[in-house]
Chains A and B, each alone.
Chain A
Amino acid sequence: MTKKTVFAGFGGQGVLMMGYVYAVSAMRDGKEVTYLPSYGAEVRGGTANCTVVVSDEEIFSPVASAPDYAVIMNRPSLNRYEGMIKKDGIIVLNSSLVDRDPSRDDLDVVRVPANDIARKLGSDRTINMIMLGAFVTKTGITTLESIMNGLTEIVKGKKASVMKLNRKGLDMGAEYALKK
C-alpha cells in the first residue's frame, strides 16, 4: 500500500501543518512517510501545498504526478489539482470556500464546510483539523487517535483547552466524511 496525498490551499489555512501532523501520525503508526512542501518563491505567492506519501514499503518518489487523495482548501487549488488526481481518487473539499464541484465524475468527493464549522467552534485555527478529520475518516489511512497522538507530539506543551478544540474539530470533520 502506497498512498500519495496532496494538501493545497493558501497560506494561513494551516495546510502545511495539516500535512505534517498527518505524516508524523502515520510514521508513529509504523509507516514509511515522506513530506514534501512547496517552498521559496511559490510560497511568497500566497499558495501553500504539500505532498505526503504514506506506505508500507520504501517510498521511491516523494513527488506525486497522480495523487490518490487531495485535500483542497480553496478554489484555485481545485483548479490546479483536479486533473491530476488518480482515477476514482478521493477529494476532500473545503466547501465553505470552493463554490463549485469537481468536473470529473469518477472522483469520490467529500464536502466539508470547514470555515463555517470552525466559526461555530469559535476558532478559525481549527479549519485544518476539521479537514484532516474528514480526510482520515474517509480514507481510513490512519485513525483520529493517531492524529491526536501526532498532534500532541508536535505541539507539546499546548494547553489542554487547545487540544480539546482540535479534537472537537477532528470529530466534526469526521462526521462529514461519514455523512454522504
Chain B
Amino acid sequence: MTEKQLMRGSHVIGEAAVRAGCRLYAGYPITPQNELTEYMSGAMARLEDGTFIQAESELAAINMVLGASMAGARAMTSSSSPGISLKQEGISYLAAQELPAVIVNTMRGGPGLGNIAPSQGDYFQATRGGGHGDYRVIVLAPASVQELADLTRKAFEYADKYRTPAMLLGDGMIGQMMEPVVFPEPVDLNKLPPKPWILDGAIGRPSRIILSLLLDTTVEEEHNWKLVRKYESIARDITSAETFMTEDAHLVVIAYGTAARIAKGAIKRVREIGLKVGLLRPVTLWPFPKRVLIEMSRQIKDFLVFEMSTGQMLEDVKLSLEGRSNIHFYGRPGGIVSTPDEIAKEINSLYHRQHLEED
C-alpha cells in the first residue's frame, strides 16, 4: 500500500498509526472524527496483536491508553475538542509518569458543545499542557493529508523517544478532506528501541513502579525541573516550520494547519498583484518555532497572524518577538472557514495601511 492513493484525512491517521506500530486504540464517538475511530476498529481487528476498544468515555479511553503505554505498547486515542477536555486528566498523568502516547484532536467550533465545523480554538489547551500541573505536550499541526501520515509517524517516534504524550492537532476539514497520500513502510516492532521501564511483570528483575505521586516536595520539584530539561531538549531537536515565499517578503502571514492552506491561497492571489507577502507555518506548535520568527524579524517588520480562533497562537508570536516587529491579527472563530479571497483582502488592506509597498 505504498502506492499513491486518495484517502480521507481521518483514515490516513489510522493507517499511519497502524504502520507506526500502534497496537492499542481506545476512543469514544464524537464528530467530526468518527471515521478515525471506525477505521481503527477494522484495522486493529485485522492485526493479530491489535486491540480496539470503544470506551465508555473519553476518560476511560485515555486511561486505557495510559495502561497500554505502561505495558509497553504504542497506543493512541482520538477525539474532538469537547472530548479532548475530558482526556486532559489522563494527559497530565501521562506527562507526569513519562509515558508515551499519541492523542489526536480534530478540533471543532467551541467553547462548550459548539459545533462540528473546523476550528482552531484549542491551541491554548494543546500547547499549554492542557491539564493540571507544570508540563507540556508535543503538538504537531498537519496542513495536508500527506503530512497527516508523516506527522502521525513522527508523533509515535517522538512520544517514545522522549517518553511524553504527543498530540496531532488538526480540524474537521483536514480530517474529512481526501488527498493523495503515500505511506511509509510499517515499522518492525521488534526493531524499535527497547523500553527498559515498562510494567510487564518482574521476571528476573526487581519490580518497577510507575507513579506521579511525589509527596516529598523537593522530589516533586526536581521532577518538574527534570521535565523542563526534557522539554528543552525536545525544543532543540524537533522544532519545525515551513516558510513560503518569505525571501523578498515585506509582510509575513503566520498560520498553521487549515488556516495556513487558506493563507497560502491568499498569498498566491496577492502576489499576482505584486504584493510581497510570504507565509510562516509552524509545524510544531509546541515547541513553537521561536527562533525562525526572531530570525525573520530582522527583515520583516510586519507580521499578520491568521487563526480560526480569536487569537491564541498570537500570544506565542508576541512572546517570541518581544516587540521586535508589528504584529497584526485576523481571526475567524466559531467554525468559520475563511476563503482565500477574504484573507487576500485583509492582507491587501494591511499592506497599504502599513505602507509596505514603499519599502
- Interface residues in chain A, defined as those with a beta carbon under 8 Å from any beta carbon in chain B: 20, 23-24, 27, 32-37, 39-41, 59-63, 65-66
- Cross-chain contact B264 with A61 (CB below 8 angstroms): yes
User: How many Å lie between the Cα of A32 and that of B31 in the bound state?
Assistant: 28
- Cross-chain contact B340 with A65 (CB below 8 angstroms): yes
Tell me the nearest residue of chain A to B340, going by C-beta. Answer: A61
In angstroms, how far is the closest chain A Cβ from the Cβ of B5?
8
- Residues on A with C-beta less than 8 A from B6 are 20, 23-24, 27, 33, 35
- Residues on B with C-beta less than 8 A from A65 are 339-342
**Cross-chain pairs A/B with CB under 8 angstroms, 16 sampled:** A20-B6, A20-B178, A23-B6, A23-B178, A27-B6, A33-B179, A33-B180, A34-B178, A34-B179, A35-B6, A36-B178, A61-B265, A61-B339, A62-B173, A62-B177, A62-B179
Knowing A61-B262, A65-B341, the reply to whether A35 touches B178 (Cβ < 8 A) is yes
Interface residues of B in 273-319 (CB under 8 A from A): none
Is the CB of B337 closer than 8 A to any CB of chain A?
yes
Q: Mark B104-134, 1 if CB is under 8 A from A, else 0.
A: 0000000000011000000000000000000
In angstroms, how far is the closest chain A Cβ from the Cβ of B290?
26
- Residues on A with C-beta less than 8 A from B341 are 65-66
In angstroms, how far is the closest chain B Cβ from the Cβ of A51?
9
- Cross-chain contact B262 with A63 (CB below 8 angstroms): yes
User: How many Å lie between the Cα of A104 and that of B32 in the bound state?
Assistant: 36
Q: Mark B1-45, 1 if CB is under 8 A from A, else 0.
A: 000101000000000000000000000000110000000000000
In angstroms, how far is the closest chain A Cβ from the Cβ of B36?
13
User: How many Å lie between the Cα of A32 and that of B177 in the bound state?
Assistant: 14
- Residues on B with C-beta less than 8 A from A34 are 177-179
* Chain A interface, >50% SS class: mixed
In angstroms, how far is the closest chain A Cβ from the Cβ of B267?
8
Knowing A23-B6, A60-B340, the reply to whether A39 touches B262 (Cβ < 8 A) is no
Is the CB of B154 closer than 8 A to any CB of chain A?
no
- Residues on B with C-beta less than 8 A from A40 are 31-32, 116, 172
- Residues on B with C-beta less than 8 A from A66 are 341
Tell me the nearest residue of chain B to A63, going by C-beta. Answer: B337
- Cross-chain contact A41 with B176 (CB below 8 angstroms): no
Knowing A20-B6, A27-B6, A63-B337, the reply to whether A37 touches B176 (Cβ < 8 A) is yes
- Residues on A with C-beta less than 8 A from B116 are 39-41
Tell me the nearest residue of chain B to A64, going by C-beta. Answer: B339
- Residues on A with C-beta less than 8 A from B31 are 39-41
Is the CB of B268 closer than 8 A to any CB of chain A?
yes
Tell me the nearest residue of chain A to B143, going by C-beta. Answer: A60
Tell me the nearest residue of chain B to A31, going by C-beta. Answer: B180
- Residues on A with C-beta less than 8 A from B332 are none
In angstroms, how far is the closest chain B Cβ from the Cβ of A36?
5
Which of B32, B179, B339 interacts with A39 by CB under 8 Å? B32
